[in-house]
Structure 1
Amino acid sequence: MRDLYSQHLVSRARELRRNMTPAERKLWYDALRSHPVKFRRQVPLAGYILDFYAPSVRICIELDGASHDSPEAQAYDRERTRVLEGLGICVVRFRNEEVLEKLPAVLTALDILVKGRQA
C-alpha cells in the first residue's frame, strides 16, 4: 500500500488538516482521534486525499457537503469510490449534517463497519 501513497498531494493534505471543516473537526475530536482503531486524517492515497483512513481495517470515511451534490461531483465520487474499492478499501460516506446533528448514529454505523472488517 505504501507505493500508492501520493507524495505530490502531501502539501495539500497538510493544508486540509490545518483547515478542517466543522464536521471533520467534530468527527475527529469527538470520536476518531481516540478510536480503538487508528484513523489518520487527510491521507494522500492513490491520487486522492481521503478525509479519514484506518489502514488496519482499510476503511475510508468521506464527509460530504453541498459541494458533492452536483452531477459532476457525484460522478467524480463514484469513480473515486470505484478506484478505492478496487484496492480493497471500503469507502463509507456521511453527510456533514449527519455528523453535526446525529453523531451517535454515525458512530454506531462506523463501529458496525469496523467490527465487520476486523473479522
Structure 2
Amino acid sequence: MPRTRVSFEMRQKARALRVHATKGESLLWYELRDLKSGGIKFRRQCPIGPYIVDFACLAVKLIVEVDGDLHEHEKGKRHDAVRDAYLRSPGFG
C-alpha cells in the first residue's frame, strides 16, 4: 500500500481516540510502549487508509485491536470483516 497523506480530520479523530482511550487500551499501551527499548515501535490509534487501528507496529505490519462490546453485535462484526479484509490486502496481520 503506498503511503498516503492523512487528512486533518483523520488526525483529529485519532488524537481524540488517544485522549479517550479505554482502560483496556491504556493497559495494553503501557506494555507495548516498553517494547520500544527493544527496537519494536508501536503506534496507538494509527490511521491506515480509511481506518484507525488501536495499535500498529508498521515495521513488521502487525496490528493489535482491543475489541469492546460494539464488536459483538452483527453490525460490528460485518464492519470488522470489511476492515480486516482491507488491512490484510497490503500484508498487515
Task: With the length of structure 2 as denominator, give the TM-score of the two structures.
Answer: 0.89
Task: Give the letter aligned to residue 81 of structure 1.
Answer: D
Structure with greater helix percent: 1
Structure 1 unpaired stretches of 5+: 91-119
Q: Does 1:45 align with 2:48?
A: yes
How many residues of Structure 1 are paired with residues of Structure 2 in the alignment? 88
Cα distance in 1 for residues equivalent to 2:23 and 2:29 = 10
Deviates more, 1:31-40 or 1:5-14: 5-14
Shift of 1:41: 0.3
Q: Tell me what 1:18 maps to.
A: 19
Larger relative contact order, structure 1 or 2 (CA cutoff 8 Å, min sep 6):
1
Please give the root-mean-square deviation of Cα atoms over the aligned residues, in Å: 1.1
Q: Tell me what 2:58 maps to.
A: 55
The DSSP-based 3-state class of the residue aligned with 2:29 is: helix
Structure 2 unpaired stretches of 5+: none
Q: Tell me what 1:86 maps to.
A: 89
Cα distance in 1 for residues equivalent to 2:77 and 2:48 = 20
Q: Deviations over 1:36-82 (max 9, x none)?
A: 31000001111000100000000011110111111111010001000
Task: With the length of structure 1 as denominator, give the TM-score of the two structures.
Answer: 0.70
Cα distance in 2 for residues equivalent to 1:80 and 1:6 = 17
The DSSP-based 3-state class of the residue aligned with 1:34 is: helix
Identity %: 35
